[in-house]
Amino acid sequence: MTDISRIQLTANAIQCNIEKVIVGKPQTIELLLAALLTQGHVLIEDVPGLGKTMLAKSLAKSLGCSFQRVQFTPDLLPSDITGVNVFNQKSSDFEFRAGPIMAQIVLADEINRAGPRTQSALLEAMEERQVTVDGVTRSIPLPFLVIATQNPIELEGTFPLPEAQLDRFLMRLSIGYPELEDEREVLRRFREVDPLTELKPVVSGEEIVALMAMCRSVYVSPAIETYILGLVRATRENAALSLGASPRGSLALYHTAQALAAIRGRSFVVPDDVQPLVIPTLAHRLILSSQSRLHGKALSAVLREVIEHVPVPVEESWSEPV
pTM exceeds 0.75 for this model: yes
The C-alpha angle with vertex 269 and arms to 2 and 46, in degrees rounded to 5, equals 105
Going from the N-terminus, what domains does the chain have, and what CATH number goes with each? 3-213 (3.40.50.300), 218-311 (1.10.8.80)
Burial class (CB in 10 A: 0-12, 13-18, 19+), 175: buried
Is residue 8 a contact partner of residue 265, using CB atoms and an 8 Å limit? yes
**CA–CA distance, 126 with 139 (Å, rounded to integer):** 11
**CA–CA distance, 269 with 101 (Å, rounded to integer):** 33
**CA–CA distance, 159 with 122 (Å, rounded to integer):** 14
**What are the Cα distances from residue 81, in Å, to 4, 120, 151, 227, 279?**
36, 11, 21, 40, 30
**What was the pLDDT predicted at 113?**
87
Torsion region of 235: left, alpha or beta (phi above 0 gives left; psi -120 to 50 gives alpha): alpha
**CA–CA distance, 223 with 12 (Å, rounded to integer):** 29
- Residue 302 sits at φ, ψ, to 5 deg, of -65, -45
**CA–CA distance, 11 with 182 (Å, rounded to integer):** 22
**What was the pLDDT predicted at 88?**
80
What are the helix (H) ranges across the chain?
3-18, 26-37, 52-63, 78-82, 116-128, 163-166, 180-189, 205-215, 222-237, 247-263, 271-274, 278-282, 290-294, 299-309
Who's near 109: CB < 8 A, 6+ residues apart?
52, 53, 69, 70, 71, 72, 149
Instruction: Give the count of beta carbons closer than 10 Å to the beta carbon of residue 113.
Output: 20
**What was the pLDDT predicted at 156?**
63
Q: Could you read off the pLDDT tens digit of each residue along the chain, which spans 322 residues?
A: 789 999 999 999 999 999 999 999 999 999 999 999 999 999 999 888 889 989 999 999 999 999 999 999 999 999 999 998 887 887 778 888 889 999 999 999 999 888 888 888 888 888 889 988 888 888 999 999 999 998 877 666 677 887 777 888 999 999 999 999 999 999 999 998 889 999 999 999 999 999 999 999 999 999 999 999 999 999 999 999 998 999 999 999 999 999 999 999 999 999 999 999 999 999 999 998 888 787 778 899 999 999 999 999 988 778 776 6
